[in-house]
DNA sequence: CATCTGACGACCG
DNA sequence: GCGGTCGCCAGAT
């Protein structure tokens, strides 16, 4: 599977903004969902200028393990992103490839899933 | 080919 | 708000 689209999209994230795994997966309509994005980022080759630190989990939570977690926090803080309790004010820093005209708050409310049936037990 | 694991996300208690 | 569980998929072993 080619993760070029993912890398390209991540590279488009401007400084001082972040994007979530789920958002990327939805934009690119990846079968693997957010998880495949995480996989791609984990395998993201250095030297391509991929701002991996700008990719955060749902709700702006930092999911990257310790080795890079501190580095990520440092980089994000260096970009002016406020991190509280290991979390980022997503509505404030979330970025979309095409900010049509709505505010950032509407960005995360992309879609709802009313047809969610209870997964009950087996 | 079978099984496990994982930089995820959503739901449930 | 948090921890646990399930779903989903792509590598690794």
pLDDT (0 to 100) of residue A122 = 34
pLDDT, residue A100, reads: 61
DSSP A81: -
Nucleotide nearest to A52 (CA to C1'): B7
For position A67, what pLDDT does the model report?
80
* Positions of E strands within A2-121: 19-20, 55-56, 83-84, 87-88
Give the pLDDT score at A105: 52
For chain A, which residues score pLDDT lower than 70?
99-122
Residues near A81 by beta carbon (within 8 Å), at least 6 away in sequence: A16, A17, A18, A88, A93
Q: What pTM did the predictor assign?
A: 0.83
Closest residue by Cα to residue A76 from A90, A32, A120: A90
Rounded CA–C1' distance between A85 and B10, in angstroms: 22
Query: Can you tell me the distance from the alpha carbon of A11 to that of A87, in angstroms, rounded to the nearest whole number?
Result: 22
> Å between A54 CA and B1 C1'?
38
Q: Which nucleotides of B are covered by protein (CB under 7 A)?
A: 6-12
Q: From the CA of A22, how many Å to the C1' of B9?
A: 7
The residue lying closest to nucleotide C8, measuring its CA against C1', is: A32
Q: What's the CA–C1' distance between A47 and B9, in Å? A: 29
- Cα(A10)–Cα(A120) distance, rounded to whole angstroms? 36
- Looking up tokens 């990846």 gives A30
């Amino acid at each position: 599977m080619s993760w070029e689209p993912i890398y390209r999209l991540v590279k488009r994230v401007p400084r001082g903004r972040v994007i979530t795994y789920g958002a990327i997966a939805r934009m690119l309509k990846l079968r693997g969902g957010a998880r495949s994005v995480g996989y791609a980022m984990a395998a993201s080759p250095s030297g391509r200028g991929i701002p991996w630190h700008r990719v955060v989990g749902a709700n702006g939570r930092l999911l990257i393990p310790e080795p890079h977690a501190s580095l990520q926090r440092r980089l994000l803080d260096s970009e002016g992103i406020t991190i509280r309790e290991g979390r980022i004010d997503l509505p404030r820093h979330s970025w979309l490839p095409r900010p049509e005209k709505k505010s950032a708050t509407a960005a995360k409310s992309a879609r709802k899933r009313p047809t969610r049936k209870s997964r009950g037990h087996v």
